[in-house]
Amino acid sequence: MPVRKIPKNYRNVTGIAAHGKANGPAAYESTLERDFITLLEFSPEVEAFEVQPVTLEWRDESNSQRRYTPDTLVMFDRMGATKRPWLCEVKYREDLAANWEALRPKFKAAVRFAKVQGWRFRIVTEQEIRVPKLVNARFLLRYRDTIPDANLMQLLDERLQELRETTPGALIQAIHRDEWNQARLLPALWYMVATFQVGTDLHQPLNMNSSIWWKS
């Protein structure tokens, strides 16, 4: 469970997101943290994550007691078994540059702590978070919680197996010509993409003309 309660903040966007992989409340103190949580929830490699999982304590050069709470601990499942858990700090690059001297002792303490735990400490910025995959994740997560009709998914899978590689638009047109039935197929297709049953390059913007392919 998180070791620190995130207070309301009228300067930054704060809140609690609903996520199935979160150990405890998935609270965030900025939109950047919220977006990072979205990527963690969507990633097939991530088994679970915990927001503000531990508070570190150490003494500085003047022997004063210091405390630091990293943002997130990320645990990986068997797909990412070669990865050690990540202890993460989420920061804008501008904030890192402006406050580096104050942040550096905290990060050094986090590196030492993570090493003892068998973890890896990572600083994650908007450069890694604000990418096309984030837009795709936001879109696809809306479809992941509702399981479509199995017959529709079978239709899509069988035709995609025949075509091997196509686009969402071409696939549903290859199954049905009328717009009503195409509209029924589309949520099922996005569900299959969101659950990684259909292949696509999630690092590129996803649309009706994106390349998709059959996965055995």
Average pLDDT score, the chain: 90
Reported as a single tens digit per residue, the pLDDT across 14-73 is: 444 457 898 877 777 899 999 999 999 999 999 999 999 999 998 888 888 999 999 999
Of 103, 129, 155, at which residue does a domain stop?
Answer: 129
Compute the distance between CA of residue 178 and CA of residue 26 in angstroms, rounded to an integer: 42
Q: Same structural domain for residues 26 and 122?
A: yes
Look up tokens 């999982």; give the residue.
53
Q: Same structural domain for residues 209 and 198?
A: yes
What's the domain count of the chain?
A: 2
Q: Give the pLDDT confidence score for residue 87 in this predicted structure.
A: 98
Radius of gyration of the chain (CA): 21
Tell me, yes or no, whether 7 lies in a domain. no
Tell me, yes or no, whether 42 lies in a domain. yes
Cβ count near 152 (within 10 Å): 19
Cβ count near 127 (within 10 Å): 9
Tell me, yes or no, whether 8 lies in a domain. no
Q: Which SS3 state, helix, strand or coil, does residue 93 take?
A: helix
Compute the distance between CA of residue 103 and CA of residue 36 in angstroms, rounded to an integer: 20
Reported as a single tens digit per residue, the pLDDT across 2-27 is: 554 544 333 344 444 457 898 877 77
Q: Please, are residues 201 and 148 in contact by the beta-carbon 8 Å criterion?
A: no
Compute the distance between CA of residue 166 and CA of residue 160 in angstroms, rounded to an integer: 8
The sign one gets for the Cα dihedral 86, 91, 92, 98 is negative
Q: Quick one: which of 200, 125, 204 has its CA closest to 168? A: 200
Tell me, yes or no, whether 193 lies in a domain. yes
Compute the distance between CA of residue 28 and CA of residue 24 in angstroms, rounded to an integer: 12
Of 109, 129, 149, at which residue does a domain stop?
Answer: 129
Pairing mode, if any, of strands 120-124 and 86-90?
Answer: parallel
Phi/psi region, residue 120 (left: phi>0; alpha: psi -120 to 50; beta: rest), is beta
Look up tokens 């531990």; give the residue.
54
Q: Same structural domain for residues 19 and 124?
A: yes
Phi/psi region, residue 8 (left: phi>0; alpha: psi -120 to 50; beta: rest), is beta
Reported as a single tens digit per residue, the pLDDT across 123-177 is: 999 999 999 999 999 999 999 989 999 999 999 999 999 999 999 999 999 999 9
Residues 6 or more apart whose CB falls under 8 angstroms from that of 48 comprise: 21, 22, 23, 75
Q: Give the pLDDT confidence score for residue 79 in this predicted structure.
A: 55
pTM value is 0.85
| Residue-range definition of the domain harbouring residue 144 | 132-214
Compute the distance between CA of residue 210 and CA of residue 200 in angstroms, rounded to an integer: 8
Q: How far apart are the first and last CA of the chain?
A: 38
Tell me, yes or no, whether 112 lies in a domain. yes
